[in-house]
Amino acid sequence: QQLAFARALIATPKIMVLDEPTAALSPAKVAESFELISTLPSFGVSVLIVEQRARQALAISSYGYIMDSGKVALEGAADSLLADDRAAELYLGRGRSTAS
């Protein structure tokens, strides 16, 4: 996976679109992936990530959109979405841990 990110960075992209980058990964690899993704902005790369693990994705994001049935249900600063009781109850699952 690190190799795939390194290869993508060779082209010096301004943005990377990641669709479910943690799908089918072990918990250890999920954590490693989110850590790696969180470093991309330091290379000047913006990241658009579509991810089922919403809490973990929002934890490394500056802004988020929560989709429901193909429509934007909530949007805003990632930390605000994580703190929003309605978002937590309806879309992020119960509890406030950063693990999903």
Torsion sign, CA atoms 56, 57, 58, 62: positive
Q: In this predicted model, which residue has the larger pLDDT, 20 or 87?
A: 20
| Token code pair at residue 72 | 């934007």
In the predicted model, what is the mean pLDDT of residues 83-88? 85
Report the C-alpha gap between 68 and 24 in whole angstroms: 22
pLDDT grade for 67, boundaries at 50, 70 and 90: confident
* Cβ proximity of 66 and 75 under 8 Å: yes
Q: What pLDDT digit, counting tens, does each position of 38-60 carry?
A: 999 998 999 999 998 988 999 99
Q: 8 by DSSP, 3-state: which?
A: helix
98 pLDDT higher than 60: no
